Every structure is written in structure tokens, then in C-alpha cells.
């Protein structure tokens, strides 16, 4: 098999699975990740390591890459999918656990659950240590130390697309090296390789993958390998013959490439630029040469539009002003990225903004950042959204805190991008055995709140986030975290018209106020 064929088969093919690779092929694509070092460290300290994740996450790949570092006598199980009866594996692991000897087991999510059930029947101690390790993979305020000789490394928590990781750049360099010989015989492939050698173009491509990372969707190594395989080599296939990288990157069908499609430059509107590209007037700033055959010279409408798409994508990657076009990517994406990136430095400001946004879910005109109101909604027609919200209690912002997850200290260095923020009381409820109320704000929830901040109509938003917030508020109230508003204030909010009426009770008398 030629190197070109090898790379092409990485796209939606079995070549993405290291089980099917020989040692030489494995080395062709091996890009070291922090997970490998973590696994080696745990094995050297006598831990039983469960390497979990989805198919294509790189579990077997990691084991093959570190095998020469962990010694010949370490028990290794690379795939439980082909084993119908786990009893022998369970007995072996229980024995090794009692002897405090290391082992490494690569296992997908569902087989891992089945394996744990059987382990529970044989050794409750081992089972409890596995569950404790699973629970403490992520830390919020305090990272619980690894107190047993069991470690769970969950590759579902790994995000390889972050800006600080060298995987993508290393992968680009590997593929360029692999394909250079074949590129001599294919002008489109040669063009792609030259483009990926250019620093500016690489930065534009990597920034696009970082936008995909901001979606906080888990992409397996299989997805990443397949995406770059298609971007480089689609031009050599019959269906996409001569399609250059800036077209292929938005045409593929694997999970990562489909995510990239929502960031297609063709969706970014800048009328003056679009007109200039349509008329062929953008002649400066091109890294290579300016595109020929502008759309205005093409009579067929569909063909002209297809040409315009190609030129605008090329502009995004190959014109020095493409960075300005990239800045037009949606604000809610950039805002969430800033929130996670500057979390520790902007904690107080972020908490205030979140509290205000949550209040706006019930009273769109609210600007209160200092109190999270306990809102109650009423509706009599189940086919309509509640038009009125009432609040007589609130929780002071000073009594709430926000936390962002990170890998536990013993997983330090694991490639990770947080995908949610937690809002919770600073103190535990009474009795302390009760679970602490928590509102988990995932990336979609945060973008919804950002839309609320920007005046997006409440009635057009997905209802699940209002429902989650209402349940959180109810739990805060039931657990005693709320206090009655000063002067017995009762807020009646008109959600549709975005105004409120306030009732104050003083000296046994009602006082009414109305605010627009």
C-alpha cells in the first residue's frame, strides 16, 4: 500500500483503528500525547489502570506506544470486545489488586460497566476503588488525591483540539512528510502540501479547529485523523477531484468535519468584501496568486455561486486580511471562549453576569447582579408559556459561587477543555447529608444566557434551560438558602412586556410601584 492510499483510508475507514496497524504504520502516525505519560507514571507506581473511552479514542494506540516503557511482566488487556466471558480477567485483576501489582486494561464504556459489575461480585474493595477513581477524574475546588492503586483514565474527557496542544501541528507535519513523494504526481495534492507549510495558513486552519473545540463536543482520535486525511487527499478521489483543502475542509462528512461546516466563511457576511470578491476586485494580500475567473464573468447562476464560495473560502485562508473575516465568527462563541479562558481572573464579574442573565429568563428588563431571585411562574393554558413570574425571596450573590472543572492533580497535563460551569451555594445545606443544589451551565446553556443578555426574546428560547433554572431556584429555597425580600417586597414580572410591578408591605399596608 502506498503512503497516499494509507492516508486516504484513514477517512471513515478501519485504518483509523490501531488494531489494524502494524508497528511501521503505527509509527507513521504516532503523535505523543500527555495521556501516554500519565499511563506510564501510574504503571510505574504499581497502579491498575483502566483506559476507557469510545471506539477510536486511541486506547489501543496508547498501549502500543508505551508498551516498551512499562516492562514485559505488566498484565495488559488491549480489548475486551472480543472476550465473551470476563471471569478470567476479573480474577486476574482481583489478584493483582491484592498483590498491589500494576496492570492496564483498555475498555470501551459499556464493556467497562459490565466488567465493573462482575468485579463487584468478586471484590467489593476493588470495585469501590474503581468507582472512587471514576468520580474524581474531574476536580472543582479541591482535587482528591489518588489514594488507592487504581486509576481510571477516561479519554472521553480528553480534547485534543485546544490551542496549547501540539497534536494538530504534529499531525500536519506528519501528513506533509508522508505525502510529499505522491504530491510530485498530483498538482492539487502538491498545492495542499505547500499551503500547509505556510505559517499563516496553518494558523488560520488551527484557529478553525479551535472553534470546533469551543463546541465542547468530544472528538476521538479517529475523527481527527479522518478529518485531516480528507482535507489533504480529497483532491485525489474521483468524487472530489481537484478540490483543494479550503473546499474539502467544509465538504467532508465525518463528525469533526460536519462541526467545522458551521464555521464556513461563506456564512460570514461582509457586504463590501463579498461584492469585491464577486467582481474580482480583491487583488492584494494573497499569499499565493489572486484567484482567476471571478463569479461575475460566469453566466450560469449556480456555477457563479459555487465559484464565489470557493473564492471566499480561499480568501479566509490565503489572504492576509482573512483574519479580519475570521473575527466575524458569532459573538456567543467568542464570549463563551473568553469566559472559560479568563475564568479565574474574571470570576466575580462572570458570576454577576450569570446571575443577571438567570434573572432575565423571568424578567427580561432585570439588571440585578447582586441577588438571584427565587422566581415562580404560573400558567393555566399548558399550550402557552407562562406570561407572569413572581418573586418574594432571593439569594445574595455573595452566598453563591461558580466553579469550573479541571482534571484531578493525578491527571495533570491531560489535554482538557472545560465544557461547563457550576453555580452553587458556598455552604452545604442543612442537614449536611442533603445534596448541595447545583446548576450546571453547559456550553449551550451559556450561549442561551448570552442570547438573553443581548435581548433575544425569551419565548423563542429552548424551554429546558428555564426549567432547569426553576428547579435550581426551588431547591435553593427549600434548602433554606433564600431570604425574604427587604420590606416584604413582592415582584410581579410581566415576561412578555418586560416590566414589573412591585408590592411593598410596610406597617401592615401595601404600597404599589410599577417600572417599565
For the chain, what are the domain ranges? 34-157, 167-326, 346-515
Higher pLDDT, 469 or 506: 469
Is a pLDDT exceeding 70 seen at residue 497? yes
Are 62 and 36 within 8 A, CB to CB?
yes
Residues 424, 427, 433, 439: what is their CA dihedral angle, to the nearest 10 degrees? 0
The residues with which 514 forms a beta bridge, in sequence order, are 501
CATH topology assigned to domain 34-157: Rossmann fold (3.40.50)
Give CA–CA dist 373/482, Å, rounded: 9
Is a pLDDT exceeding 50 seen at residue 61? yes
Instruction: State mean pLDDT over 186-212.
Output: 95
Is a pLDDT exceeding 80 seen at residue 514? no
- 5-14, 41-50, 184-193, range with the lowest pLDDT: 5-14
pLDDT of 161 = 87
Residue 513 φ then ψ, to 5°: -130, 150
Q: What percent of the chain has pLDDT over 90?
A: 56
pLDDT in tens, 207-253: 999 889 888 888 888 899 999 999 999 999 999 998 999 999 999 99
pLDDT in tens, 404-448: 999 998 898 888 889 899 999 998 887 776 789 999 999 999 999
Instruction: State mean pLDDT over 98-105.
Output: 94
pLDDT band at 23 (very low <50, low <70, confident <90, very high): low
Q: How far is CA 316 from the centre of its chain?
A: 24
pLDDT band at 493 (very low <50, low <70, confident <90, very high): confident
Are 175 and 226 within 8 A, CB to CB?
no
pLDDT band at 382 (very low <50, low <70, confident <90, very high): very low
pLDDT of 340 = 85
Give CA–CA dist 61/151, Å, rounded: 18
Q: What percent of the chain has pLDDT over 70?
A: 92
Label residue 10 left, alpha or beta by phi (over 0 means left) and psi (-120 to 50 means alpha): alpha
pTM of the model: 0.84
Higher pLDDT, 1 or 82: 82
- 33-37, 202-206, 269-273, 376-380, range with the lowest pLDDT: 376-380
Higher pLDDT, 9 or 334: 9
SS3 390: strand
Give CA–CA dist 328/265, Å, rounded: 9
pLDDT in tens, 278-328: 999 999 999 999 999 999 999 999 999 999 999 999 999 999 999 999 889
pLDDT band at 128 (very low <50, low <70, confident <90, very high): very high
pLDDT of 322 = 95
Element housing 169 (H / E): helix 167-183
Strand pairing class (138-139; 406-407): antiparallel
Amino acid at each position: 500500500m502506498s503512503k497516499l492510499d494509507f492516508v486516504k483510508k484513514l477517512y471513515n475507514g478501519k485504518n483509523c483503528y490501531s488494531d489494524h496497524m502494524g508497528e511501521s504504520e503505527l509509527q507513521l502516525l504516532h503523535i505523543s500525547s500527555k495521556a501516554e505519560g500519565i499511563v506510564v507514571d501510574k504503571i510505574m507506581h504499581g497502579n491498575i489502570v483502566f483506559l476507557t473511552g469510545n471506539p477510536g479514542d486511541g486506547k489501543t494506540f496508547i498501549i502500543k506506544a508505551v508498551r516498551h516503557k512499562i516492562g514485559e511482566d505488566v498484565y495488559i488487556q488491549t480489548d475486551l470486545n472480543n472476550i465473551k466471558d470476563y471471569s478470567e480477567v476479573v480474577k486476574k485483576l482481583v489478584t493483582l489488586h491484592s498483590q498491589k501489582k500494576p496492570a492496564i486494561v483498555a475498555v470501551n464504556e459499556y464493556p467497562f460497566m459490565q466488567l465493573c459489575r462482575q468485579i463487584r461480585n468478586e471484590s467489593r474493595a476493588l470495585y469501590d476503588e474503581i468507582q472512587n477513581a471514576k468520580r474524581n477524574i474531574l476536580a472543582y475546588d479541591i482535587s482528591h488525591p489518588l489514594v488507592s492503586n487504581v486509576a481510571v483514565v477516561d479519554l472521553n474527557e480528553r480534547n485534543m483540539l485546544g490551542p496549547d496542544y501540539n497534536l494538530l501541528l504534529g499531525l500536519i507535519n506528519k501528513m506533509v512528510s508522508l505525502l510529499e513523494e505522491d504530491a510530485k504526481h498530483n498538482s492539487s495534492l502538491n498545492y495542499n502540501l505547500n499551503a500547509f507549510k505556510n505559517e499563516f495558513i496553518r494558523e488560520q486552519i488551527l484557529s478553525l479547529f479551535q472553534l470546533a473545540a469551543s463546541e465542547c463536543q468530544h472528538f476521538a482520535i479517529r475523527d481527527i485523523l479522518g478529518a485531516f486525511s480528507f482535507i489533504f487527499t480529497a483532491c485525489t478521489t474521483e468524487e472530489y477531484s481537484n478540490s483543494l483543502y479550503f473546499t474539502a475542509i467544509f465538504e467532508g462528512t465525518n463528525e469533526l468535519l460536519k462541526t467545522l461546516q458551521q464555521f464556513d466563511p461563506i456564512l460570514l457576511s461582509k457586504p463590501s468584501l463579498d461584492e469585491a470578491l464577486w467582481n474580482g476586485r480583491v487583488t492584494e494580500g494573497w499569499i499565493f496568486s489572486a484567484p482567476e475567473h471571478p463569479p461575475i464573468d460566469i453566466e450560469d447562476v449556480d456555477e457563479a455561486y459555487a465559484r464565489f464560495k470557493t473564492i471566499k473560502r480561499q480568501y479566509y485562508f490565503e489572504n492576509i486580511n482573512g483574519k479580519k473575516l475570521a473575527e466575524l465568527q458569532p459573538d456567543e462563541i467568542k464570549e463563551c471562549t473568553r469566559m472559560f479562558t479568563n475564568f479565574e481572573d474574571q470570576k466575580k464579574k462572570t458570576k454577576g453576569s450569570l446571575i443577571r442573565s438567570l434573572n432575565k429568563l423571568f424578567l427580561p428588563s432585570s439588571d440585578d447582579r447582586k441577588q438571584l431571585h427565587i422566581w415562580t411562574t404560573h400558567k393555566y393554558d399548558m399550550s402557552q408559556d407562562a406570561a407572569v413570574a413572581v418573586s418574594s425571596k432571593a439569594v445574595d450573590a455573595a452566598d453563591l459561587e461558580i466553579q469550573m472543572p479541571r482534571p484531578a492533580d493525578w491527571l495533570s497535563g491531560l489535554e482538557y477543555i472545560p465544557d461547563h460551569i457550576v453555580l452553587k451555594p458556598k455552604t452545604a445545606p442543612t442537614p449536611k447529608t442533603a445534596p448541595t443544589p447545583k446548576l450546571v451551565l453547559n456550553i449551550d446553556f451559556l450561549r442561551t444566557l448570552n442570547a438573553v443578555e443581548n435581548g433575544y426574546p425569551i419565548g423563542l428560547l429552548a424551554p429546558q434551560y428555564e426549567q432547569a433554572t426553576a428547579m435550581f431556584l426551588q431547591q435553593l429555597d427549600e434548602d433554606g438558602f433564600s431570604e425574604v425580600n427587604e420590606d416584604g417586597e413582592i415582584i410581579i414580572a410581566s415576561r412578555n412586556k418586560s416590566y414589573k410591578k412591585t408590592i411593598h408591605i410596610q406597617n401592615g399596608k401595601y404600597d404599589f410601584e410599577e417600572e417599565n
